């Protein structure tokens, strides 16, 4: 049974709902892993279907008490937010801290988030965890210098979004920021090593994804003004039109790239963190005309043919571990949230599909292979995951 099905059956068998949950506010889409289900009690009630409590099962006599954390969830992002919650709770378990995590799904409604914050303050919570870029934006606009400390998780670059002045200083407020993005200069260094004579980068993104535009597209366009390559902005207009848009804009982009790179040896497609775009990786590959498709999320490099050839970024789990570390520092009194610099994974995690590389004739730099956290072989099977050799392949 999958974790998701297990979770749903667990809710049905253990929780006592007097009426069906409201479709817009329920949390049954969460895919909680075995660690969470074995170490945490799950509680919910029919009159608050937007809330779910995860609480360490048995309080060890050596533990001083529960760390009470409010998790603000703005929308249903199954993979990203499930990973965030699984990782955050796992890190607290490994750190020997008893955790009471109150998840509050506010459906991007400010008044609902306001109510959650007020409830947390009235019930003596210790910290707020914002989950996702829009939740971080909510805290920045509505809860700076609030009573409770805040740590952001699963959020895009706060400097590029205007929430932080730079990467070298803390916020000076009650908010500690983390980022899932790779700094543009770092990304440039890897891309130009992958294709030393780089001429064209065709950036694929969703025009409705403001955070991807602010933190990935716009900074790359600005950086390219002093670089030796050009940026082609390829926007799908909405998640509803992504298939039609990709079929129109990608062939046009290839024709434009041929003007400066006739043999298409020095051009690539770059997949941003726009979910509606990268989830269509099969179509993107089909329309790429053999050009490398490079992703900014390691998850888009995967087993089989429906994969980017390389990714340069950080996994959600890695960035959430940083958020967890920040939260523990704050809760233990080691650091004040306003003193913590923007946290991001450095160096970035590299993922490689040698199957895709062989299909398009791309040579992978040795540095990429040395650093890669995820490697898939010529058959498309995993041989290195999270930096660890998948030994069963060779036994």
Do 109 and 219 reside in the same domain of the chain?
no
Decide the pairing of beta strands 374-376 and 382-385.
antiparallel
Give domain status of residue 342, yes or no.
Answer: no
CB 372 within 8 A of CB 312: no
The CA distance from 115 to 117, in Å, is 5
Q: What is the pLDDT of residue 21?
A: 33
Do 161 and 27 reside in the same domain of the chain?
yes
Do 27 and 152 reside in the same domain of the chain?
yes
The CA distance from 289 to 153, in Å, is 37
What are the tens digits of pLDDT across the range 279-292?
999 999 999 999 99
Mean pLDDT score of the chain: 90
14 pLDDT higher than 80: no
CB 59 within 8 A of CB 49: no
Q: What is the pLDDT of residue 22?
A: 38
Nearest partner of 84 among 178, 163, 210, judged by Cα? 178
Give domain status of residue 338, yes or no.
Answer: no
363 pLDDT higher than 50: yes
Give domain status of residue 135, yes or no.
Answer: yes
Q: What is the pLDDT of residue 17?
A: 31
Give domain status of residue 20, yes or no.
Answer: yes
Q: What is the pLDDT of residue 79?
A: 85
Axis crossing angle, helix 78-94 with helix 316-331, rounded to the nearest 10: 40
Backbone angles phi, psi at 99, to 5 degrees: -125, 135
Do 146 and 35 reside in the same domain of the chain?
yes
Do 253 and 324 reside in the same domain of the chain?
no
Do 169 and 294 reside in the same domain of the chain?
no
Range of the domain at 378: 184-313+348-394
Do 224 and 329 reside in the same domain of the chain?
no
More confident residue, 159 or 19: 159
Residue for token pair 């991807």: 212
Q: What is the pLDDT of residue 394?
A: 47
Give domain status of residue 264, yes or no.
Answer: yes
What are the tens digits of pLDDT across the range 18-70?
233 334 447 889 999 999 999 999 988 778 889 999 999 976 655 568 999 99
Q: Is 39 helix (H, G, I), strand (E, B) or coil?
A: helix
Q: What is the pLDDT of residue 64?
A: 63
> For the chain, how many structural domains are there in total?
2
Q: How confident is the model at residue 1 (pLDDT cuts 50, 70, 90)?
A: very low
Q: What is the pLDDT of residue 62?
A: 58
Give the CATH number of the domain where residue 368 resides: 3.40.50.2300
Give domain status of residue 343, yes or no.
Answer: no
Mean pLDDT of 122-130: 98
Do 202 and 81 reside in the same domain of the chain?
no
Q: What is the pLDDT of residue 12?
A: 34
What are the tens digits of pLDDT across the range 292-301?
999 998 889 9
Give domain status of residue 340, yes or no.
Answer: no
Q: How confident is the model at residue 379 (pLDDT cuts 50, 70, 90)?
A: very high
Mean pLDDT of 104-131: 97
What are the tens digits of pLDDT across the range 174-226?
999 999 998 899 999 999 999 999 999 999 999 998 888 988 999 999 999 99
């Amino acid at each position: 049974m999958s974790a998701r099905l297990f979770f749903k059956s667990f809710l049905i068998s253990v929780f006592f709902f007097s009426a069906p949950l409201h479709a817009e506010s329920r949390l049954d889409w969460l895919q909680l892993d075995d660690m969470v289900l074995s170490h945490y009690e799950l509680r919910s009630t029919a009159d608050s279907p937007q809330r779910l409590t995860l609480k360490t099962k048995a309080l060890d006599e050596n533990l001083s008490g529960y760390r009470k954390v409010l998790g603000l969830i703005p929308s249903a992002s199954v993979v990203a937010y499930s990973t965030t919650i699984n990782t955050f709770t796992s890190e607290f378990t490994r750190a020997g801290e008893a955790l009471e995590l109150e998840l509050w799904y506010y459906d991007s409604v400010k008044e609902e988030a306001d109510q959650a914050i007020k409830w947390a303050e009235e019930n003596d919570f210790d910290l707020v965890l914002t989950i996702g870029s829009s939740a971080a934006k909510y805290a920045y606009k509505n809860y700076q210098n609030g009573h409770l400390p805040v740590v952001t998780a699963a959020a895009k670059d706060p400097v590029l979004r205007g929430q932080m002045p730079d990467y070298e200083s803390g916020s000076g407020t009650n908010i500690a920021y983390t980022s899932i993005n790779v700094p543009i200069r770092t990304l440039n260094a890897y891309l130009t090593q992958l294709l030393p004579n780089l001429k064209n980068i065709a950036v694929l993104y969703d025009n409705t994804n403001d955070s991807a535009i602010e933190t990935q597209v716009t900074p790359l366009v600005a950086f390219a003004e002093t670089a030796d390559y050009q940026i082609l902005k390829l926007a799908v207009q909405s998640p509803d039109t992504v298939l039609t848009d990709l079929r129109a804009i990608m062939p046009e982009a290839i024709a434009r790239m041929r003007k400066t790179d006739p043999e298409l040896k020095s051009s690539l497609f770059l997949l941003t963190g726009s979910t509606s775009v990268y989830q269509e990786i099969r179509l993107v590959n089909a329309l790429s005309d053999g050009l490398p498709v490079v992703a900014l999320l390691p998850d888009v490099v995967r087993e089989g043919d429906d994969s980017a050839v390389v990714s340069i970024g950080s996994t959600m789990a890695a960035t959430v571990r940083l958020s967890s570390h920040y939260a523990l520092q704050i809760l233990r009194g080691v650091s004040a949230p306003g003193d913590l610099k923007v946290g991001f994974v450095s160096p970035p995690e590299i993922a490689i599909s040698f199957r895709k590389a062989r299909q398009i004739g791309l040579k992978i730099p040795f540095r990429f292979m040395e650093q890669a956290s995820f490697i898939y072989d010529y058959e498309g099977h995993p041989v290195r995951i999270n930096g660890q050799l998948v030994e069963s392949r060779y036994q």
